Structure 1
């Protein structure tokens, strides 16, 4: 049977946008956009002006498109085949679960939709019952029915969330045994959180190895799932969920920063800070402040140093890798301020807490990227900032090749800085060659920060366009 394209999807296709392009521009996941297009949920009002602008329609026209997308739900018909809505298997007749999509006139049914919290840009397009406490006895029944279900993808999270929302009327919530060591969240949700934590490590490795292009979609998808879990969570259980959410929000902040979208980076950093405070996760609060210090313009050393010092105060007894990361960031702030001696003292201090992660999965926690060679690369960056490119070149050449293979993005950033050092020391040909290598790494993983560094180098090399390596670099930039 042919699948009908929704009016909203048709409008997107008319302006030549893919789901991935539009979702990225709106800072939502592709699955969220798909739910909009299929009428499962509607975007929140703050998202609509930008959506209308991207689709080249007026706000009233957009409202008509959204109503048309919702039509299958309003008439009680099933959603077309393009919907990303997860529908659980049919339950035994004794089950109290309702269908995934309820007719609009069925007052006793709940609406089985994937609703996300406000920060994820959507709101239910049908009137849903007020959220009830999760009946984990019901979830256990589903778990028994699905012994073969493994939580291997973000989509599997929808199954648990949908069951939690589809309780029958009058079902009593089951209180946890206060003497039990198990979480009040229930066994399946504990498994979901464990899955999310494991996926975070894998996404960190994806970013290190392949760059933000390949990691961001996964991070946003998991943030959608976290938003859904928060909707049905008990107040006393939110802390466990937002603790994981803070990790993902900080990762989204970093990925957007690496893609030179500082506005989105700062928004997600603020979300990470908020969730870290709600969960009373002081190390996460510290890391969010560290991330914010990286987003400050290079011309503001005072603010960089102030934020790093605030991060230090936010938590005592930090793990060694985090201490190393804070120390090297403080060193950069001091270099920006022209304080050579204290900057290098801070790098020496960071070396005392250097990490040994060669797998790029942050198993040792935040700051695991601060290996001894990474820290010496940061010392080279300080020399470059302090106006001594010769010393910077010596350190870059010695330590960049020693960076663990998985840290490809960091290698690209370092090569871009080495190219700057070569140009500053009067070696344009070598600078162009290294910049070309950095450009390849930056483009392959969408590290726009690396590409921006290369463009800056190219700007300094325009007077040397007659040199073959420089000419080739300028051509590659023009083609890209």
Structure 2
């Protein structure tokens, strides 16, 4: 393999850079379950190139770091936290080998959000702080780190500090330079949706549903999987607030997106909703949701918990 690919005219780093951006776009549209095998194949091939000393060694290491972060994210969307943590740790290791704050910040931001998804407020907060220290000043990485720090603060009971930290994240987004390689999703609507998630996780369900709706009305096109996550979380908050009809409507929409993107984050939340809804309810939309959910569940489903 190494001798075959050792042609100096081949720009392996540019090839993998282009491939990664295409995989990220496909992930946003069609879901991580479809793109993850390609990410893992790319990591295996990058390893072969590195061992064979083919191409620019630092460039190959840089690609390993960003592909590992991508793998961590895609396992996270499948709620496979063990593999997500493995690849996040590899991303951080390779970033330290590069001694590059950009990639260290990227890796730590991923680890912080992963801890948020597992409900570990202390770990999420510490990792967010580390990411904020490491990330380039006033970058999108800094804004993401503050967003996850704000969520962690709320989970720990510091609601006022959480609100101030969300505002600080928005302030950075307003001045941060565009990053063509990372953070294209990160804008005010993303931060608002994450704060709505915080409200839901801390029991402020009416506030959560209102803010989710506002954030979804302003979110960028091209992120259907993210919209499915927001809809699923909205549905559970509606149900927790005793609003069964909007819960069923949002839940059915989330289910459709979850099936098409194979996102376990979405489908796990939809299953939570199903357990909250009285199956004998005659309110509008409940029967349609139950029928769609039952049909999907009958096809089989693996939930990573």
TM-score past 0.5 threshold: yes
CA separation of 1:319 and 1:201: change in aligned 2, threshold 3 A: farther
SS at match of 1:366: coil
Q: Which residue of 2 aligns with 1:276?
A: 95
RMSD: 2.3
Q: Which residue of 2 aligns with 1:107?
A: none
**Residues 392-433 of structure 1 deviation map (CA, whole Å, 9 limit, x = unaligned):** 122111220221111111111111111112112110111011
Q: Would you say the 8 A contact 2:225–2:261 is kept in 1? A: yes
SS at match of 2:207: helix
Separation in 2 of the partners of 1:242 and 1:355? 32
CA separation of 1:404 and 1:433: change in aligned 2, threshold 3 A: same
Q: Pick from 203, 212, 219: which aligns with 2:32?
A: 212
**Residues 155-214 of structure 1 deviation map (CA, whole Å, 9 limit, x = unaligned):** xxxxxx44257xxxxxxxxxxxxxxxxxxx9442xx111111121111111111211133
Separation in 1 of the partners of 2:111 and 2:280? 37
Q: Pick from 261, 265, 272: which aligns with 1:456?
A: 272
Q: Pick from 372, 376, 381: which aligns with 2:188?
A: 372
Q: Which residue of 2 aligns with 1:321?
A: 140
CA separation of 1:449 and 1:475: change in aligned 2, threshold 3 A: same
SS at match of 1:399: helix
Q: Counterparts of 1:166-315 in structure 2 under 5 Å?
A: 186-188=8-10, 191-233=11-53, 237-296=56-115, 298-313=118-133, 315=134
Name structure 1 gaps, 5 residues minimum: 1-113, 115-160, 166-184
Separation in 1 of the partners of 2:290 and 2:221? 28
**Residues 202-259 of structure 1 deviation map (CA, whole Å, 9 limit, x = unaligned):** 111111121113321321222122112112117x953221111110011011101101
Q: Counterparts of 1:407-418 in structure 2 under 5 Å?
A: 407-418=223-234
TM-score, normalising length from structure 2?
0.88
Aligned residues: 294
Structure label with greater radius of gyration: 1
Offset, 1:470: 2.2
Offset, 1:316: 4.9
CA separation of 1:316 and 1:460: change in aligned 2, threshold 3 A: closer
Offset, 1:468: 4.8
